[in-house]
Amino acid sequence: MDTDAGCFLGYFVSEDFTSLDFIALVSPPDVRNGVLLEGTNYRFERPNRYQGSDGVKTGTAITCSHSEDRLIWQDVAEVFSGRPHYWDELIGSGPPPLKTEAGWLHIYHGVATHFGSANIYQAGVSLHDLERPWITLSRSKYNILEPRELYELTGQVPNVVFPSAAIPLQKDAEGLVPLNSEVYIYYGAADTCVGLVICTIRDLIAQAQ
């Protein structure tokens, strides 16, 4: 939530998914991309600690925090940081991670800033320990999605694919998403329209190796 005092993570509750009740601001200032790990009291988030040459604050690391009541949060550890001169120099979580037998499957966005003409927003995946999600088991070397289509290259903010939701079509009795489950990944394209990618959990995990 953008406020006069800065950008915070907000806590809302919905009983019917048609209305929202605001509970509280639940982060220090200048924190973005907060995502809950389903069934736990852990959260991935991105502190905006880096100030670019344009004066805008952004983030070069994803961190993990923990809360007993989802109101007061404590830092646990850094999850991972951006890779200079690569496709994911600046980073932030996308959809909430999915729980699989191989670990928490995390889709995140990365920004390449080393091109002279424009920043390029892309997407990648990482895999995390189920009990200690701040531990990264593996991470994609290359992106899994980049702007190529005209509607991704041109718009309100050009050269952007920004993953926002990952909807699995299956879950087992323990809440795990099976490896053969399809997952619908919705993403913002050039901050102008919404795109959809369909793949399987197995496909995504393979990219994180």
Q: Is the pLDDT of residue 204 over 70?
A: yes
Question: What percentage of the chain has pLDDT greater than the value 90?
Answer: 88
> For position 169, which CATH number holds?
2.115.10.20
- Residue type present at position 66: H
Q: Is the pLDDT of residue 2 over 80?
A: no
Average pLDDT taken over every residue of the chain: 94
DSSP E strands, 48-115 = 50-51, 57-58, 61-66, 74-81, 90-93, 98-100, 103-112
Give the pLDDT confidence score for residue 50 in this predicted structure.
75
Phi, psi of 71 (to 5 degrees): -115, -45
Give the pLDDT confidence score for residue 5 in this predicted structure.
76
Q: Is the pLDDT of residue 12 over 90?
A: yes
Query: Minimal CA–CA distance to 123: which of 140, 137, 99, 138?
Result: 140
Domain assignment of residue 83, given as a range: 2-207
65-116 confidence digits (pLDDT tens) = 999 999 999 999 999 999 999 999 999 999 999 999 999 999 999 999 988 6
The Cα–Cα gap between 43 and 155 comes to 31
126-137 confidence digits (pLDDT tens) = 999 999 999 999
**How many structural domains does the chain have?**
1
pTM for this predicted structure: 0.94
Give the pLDDT confidence score for residue 161 in this predicted structure.
98
| Residue 143 DSSP one-character state | -
Give the Cβ contact number of residue 124 at 10 Å: 26
Token code pair at residue 137 = 């088991």
Token code pair at residue 26 = 């639940």
The Cα–Cα gap between 95 and 100 comes to 15
